[in-house]
Structure 1
Amino acid sequence: MSAQQEFAADVLVVGGGPAATWAALDAARAGADVVLADKGYCGTSGSTAAGGTGVWYVDPEPALREAAMASREALGGHLADRRWMARVLDQTYVNMNELAESRSYPFPTGPDGRQLRTGLQGPEYMRRMRIRVRRAGVRILDHSPVTELLTAADGSVAGAAGQRRQAGHPFLVRAGAVVLATGGCAFLSKALGTNTNTGDGALYAAEVGAELSGMEFSNAYGIAPEHTSVTKTAFYSYASFSTGDGAALEGAASQGGRSVIARSLLAGEKVYCRLDRADEAARRAMRLAQPNFFLTFDRLGIDPFTDRFAVTLLAEGTVRGTGGIRIAGDDCRTTVPGLYAAGDAATREEICGGFTGGGSHNAAWAMSSGTWAGRGAAGYARALGPGAHRRVLAPAGRAGLRPTAAPGGRPGGDAREIVAAVQRQVLPYDKNYLRHGDGLTGALSVLDDTWARLRAGLRATGTDAVRARQAAALTANARWMYRSALARTESRGMARRLDHPGQDPAQHHRIASGGLDEVWTRPLARTATEAAA
């Protein structure tokens, strides 16, 4: 194996999507020396780079802001925080205007001549963010997945280690602070752009003692044309759904329609769709907003507005759900000193409560939380001074790297087998989407055993360590999800229980989780703004 390459920086940003690039940009603008390490190629990897997205961009008029904040409060079980909502709306407004006024993004204009700043084409957005980050002096390490965090003697996070895939050697970054912007966890479901979203950041955070929150809000499934990966679900609000014989599938087009689709698919019935409720103006607007959505149809010779096509559901987990690393301050610090979180790696309960924010809220959260985490990490590193790079470092990674069993002990299986075992428990609709306590308990029993096996016996080095750590991250995320779902004995937001269909006022709180060998959950006290809601 080649010798390890070492770097030193004030701030290390792990990830390469919008949250990561905004964090790196704002840390650099705050005077920090920044390294960004991406599992893929920064600017092309992740769910945003694969398509377009709306953005929660609202003019600062009181009535408009009030309507924007109120729009999802009930859907999210009244777990969102108005103060955080207002902060995100403010920061998103600033960041989007900056993109426009600096000509960093070519916003289209509407019929009235005003720029339309409520959406972004992912490929162009991320291409330009990469350029901005490089011009700010950030050192980008492409194809360099981090495999573990490094800690100082006082337990604070002081860097990370990983593998430079194309260069073929390990690397280590000594840093004053670390921002985890690694995205959520979609369990390798093949949803478009999510193959890098394996929940790594949550695993690394938990290994150093950080907490998570809202992991029960993780049963998001996106509608996709059968045998494709494009889960751009917003356009299905224009759809009519039907069964194989052409009969209307009642309830499939409603707000809770995915449960109807899931039940039909579980029964072995095909579900068909046609976007026939869109008028000509809407059709033109849809093609402009999401060209990737139509690419598959065009190649297959299907007109989705007039032709029926079969659909399926793909798991999107915490990418479109709201759970993630718990935020402990306005600067997006976690519960561990020196560690910050942004984007889908962090909980989005602050602005969405327990219901998905879709693309728009998540896009706003990514750029806002990235900005705050970058600035916060820069300030933390600056306060440490030059001695930060001289700290003695200890590796924090465990599962997949440093098994507990002696050589020749209990076999841990290989990474592919572990991933398949986890997917069997989290991808099926009747286990994760249509949740029931008995099903959750049974799935957890399998997942706990899977974790015990990999923890005891799975050991990998070099590039194999990347796959092993992804397998460990998938297993850990699944266990936090289901343990949190069992702890919420009600239906609130997207965390619905067939055995507890009603909402319980006594459970109007968030649920924190954490732990690895022993997973724990506990209710979180409500904030003042939540209590007033």
Structure 2
Amino acid sequence: MTLELTTDVLVVGGGPAATWAALKAAEEGAAVVLADKGYCGTSGATASVGTGVWYVPPEPDAREAAMASREALGGYLADRRWMARVLDETYERVNELADAKYPFPVGPDGTSLRNGLQGPEYMRRQRIRVRRAGVTILDHSPVTELLTSFDGAVAGAAGHQRQADRPFRVRAGAVVLATGGCAFLSKAFGCNVNTGDGALFAAEAGAELSGMEFSNSYGIAPEHTSVTKTAFYNYATFYRADGSVLEGAGSQRGRSVIARTLLSEKVFCKLDLADEAAQKAMRLAQPNFFLTFDRLGVNPFTDPFAVTLLAEGTVRGTGGIRIVDDGCATTVPGLYAAGDAATRELICGGFTGGGSHNAAWAISSGSWSGRAAARFARSIGRGARRVQAAGGAGLRPAGRSSDVDIAEAVRTVQAEVLPYDKNYLRHGDVLRDALGVLDGVWESLRSVESAGIASVPARQAAAMVAHARWMYTSALVRNESRGMAKRLDHPELDPSQHHRITSGGLDRVWARPEVAA
């Protein structure tokens, strides 16, 4: 039997952005339901590790330095007004965490150090706060599609509860998509719930995306492991297989050097630039990073170990659902986006938000979207609306249904987006060939009919294919190298392309320069 719920605000997701959205919507007096693909408080990229936070006290010089530090790297596509808003909101919300007794470490001078969070403890406390706020949490309840009213507004969502093995449907006055980005099941730590579902749902409802070319983010990880805490490699020296130093690999743009080298040989490194104090601080900040080394009897500060690169796509990239106002509304009435599901170009431009900027964006956009969604829901009231299901590919066939091997479809997508020489070291000819393959996979998924728990992997596959097509179509429109969007066939920055690129579409994907409002 289907679980039927009615609420003011439905939040889809269970990470930082989702929990902040739920909290702030509840504070506005809204009834809130949160539906998480996993177990809220433990699933997602943040819950598995620690993260820095873009937390800067309101001192003019410090704020100016914080905003200026990443502008050039991002190709000057960030927006100072949004940067300032995020810094203000993050400062307030992190201080709220401190008031709620989050155990921030204390520095030598006795001051609370609030520029980092331990993911497991942070998310454990967020779950407790959400429950205390009266939010209904649906764990292990992946959403598979949005519901829309007949005037085009979003009116809820439907999905399937894994443990109860039953479908569910939530009618809502507004929906916040905080489902994270897309890492294409690359096995990057904590990211296998991040398959881009929210962007697919949004596009099916008619929303646009932005910055999808800024999606070729790869994290460094010890070979055969999944922990991509790239900041620690600032202390690394990288070596070729013959023991010689790999020049340029340790620079700010060193991952391209590593990627090129990995195409033909192994790359090794040692964290030999970290002094004793730094080593102690690293172990305290990211204990998970060292678990594998300790089990293998490897000292990463003195022993060389092989590294690889794992695709993190739009989890650590900046592309996502386009937002159109200060409350993180999308182009579809009643639909809001937050965290990694939304574009982060507004504060990062075209360069990765890494941990700290993305963490601040999750806190801020989650808070803004939750408040705005609650106000929108209040404005339309609790009256019953006729709704229709918006889901397509992997769920309802466009024509005659046919059997498609979903696992094989995923492997085909991964073959086009995970290799360094396709996605990281991009070339127009390679992108066009990849799009031909991806278009074929999409067409096959449009013939799939699924129900129950089988709909979850089918929809994940559709979301990953859609993501890859938006990424590569946008990358072809940007005929230059800006931020992380590098083109081997267009290696220079072109001043005439100082604009963002919006994209969308499903059967026919499109991308074009953003039209100024």
TM bracket, shorter-chain basis: over 0.9
**Other-structure match for 2:434:** 443
Quote the sequence identity (%). Answer: 75
How big is each residue's C-alpha offset from its partner over 1:70-89, in whole Å with a ceiling of 9 and x where there is no partner?
Answer: 00000000000000000000
Please, which of 88, 91, 103 is the counterpart of residue 89 of structure 2?
91
Select 2:283's aligned residue among 284, 287, 308.
Answer: 287
Cα contact 1:412–1:454 (8 A) shared by 2: no
Q: Aligned residue for 2:418?
A: 427
> 1:412 Cα deviation (Å)?
5.2
Cα distance in 2 for partners of 1:278, 1:256 equals: 20
Runs of at least 5 residues in structure 2 that lack an aligned partner in the other structure: none
CA contact (8 A) 1:509 1:526 kept: no
SS in 1 for 2:172: strand
Q: Distance in 2 between matches of 1:259 and 1:492?
A: 14
Counterpart Cα distance in 1 of 2:403 and 2:97: 48
Report matched runs for 1:106-505 at 5 Å.
106-267=103-264, 269-387=265-383, 390-407=384-401, 411=402, 413-455=404-446, 457-505=447-495
Query: Secondary structure at 2:167's aligned position in 1?
Result: strand
2:466 and 2:405 mapped to 1: Cα distance? Answer: 16
| Matched-pair contact (CA < 8 Å) for 1:414–1:458 | no
Partners of 1:192 and 1:412 in 2: how far apart? 32
- Please list the CA deviations of residues 122-142 of structure 1 after superposition, one character each: whole Å capped at 9, or x if unmatched: 000000000000000000000
Q: Describe the SS at the equivalent of 2:269.
A: strand
| Paired residue secondary structure (1:386) | coil
Deviation at 1:405, TM superposition (A): 2.2
> Which residue identity lines up with residue 227 of structure 1 in the other structure?
H
Deviation at 1:526, TM superposition (A): 4.9
Structure 1 distance, partners of 2:461, 2:59, is 47
CA shift for structure 1 position 295:
1.2
Match of 1:60? 58
The one-letter code of the counterpart of 2:317 is G
- Could you tell me how far apart the structure 1 residues matched to 2:448 and 2:388 are? 20
Q: Which runs of 5+ in 1 are unaligned?
A: 528-533
Deviation at 1:525, TM superposition (A): 3.5
Q: Kindly indicate whether the alpha-carbon contact (under 8 Å) linking 1:53 and 1:121 is maintained by their aligned counterparts in 2.
A: yes
Query: Runs ≥4 in structure 1, deviation > 6 angstroms?
Result: none
Letter in 2 for 1:341: A
Task: Name the aligned partner's letter for residue 23 of structure 2.
Answer: L
- CA gap of 1:233–1:526, structure 2 versus 1, over 3 A, is farther
1:148 is displaced (CA, Å) by: 0.2
Matched with 1:531 is none
Any idea what SS the aligned residue of 1:358 has?
coil
Q: Matched residues in 2 for 1:471 and 1:525: separation?
A: 31
Identify the range of structure 1 (287-296 vs 7-16) with the bigger mean alpha-carbon deviation.
287-296
Q: Provide the rounded CA distance (Å) in 2 between the counterparts of 1:421 and 1:200.
A: 18
Which amino acid in structure 2 is aligned with residue 9 of structure 1?
Answer: T
Q: Give the aligned length.
A: 517
The residue matched to 2:91 in structure 1 has which SS? helix
Find the residue that maps to 1:191 and give its secondary structure.
coil
CA distance in 1, matches of 2:406, 2:68: 44
The two structures, once aligned, show a CA RMSD in angstroms of 0.7
**Distance in 2 (alpha carbons) for counterparts of 1:76 and 1:366:** 19
Cα distance in 2, alignment partners of residues 168 and 452 from structure 1: 29
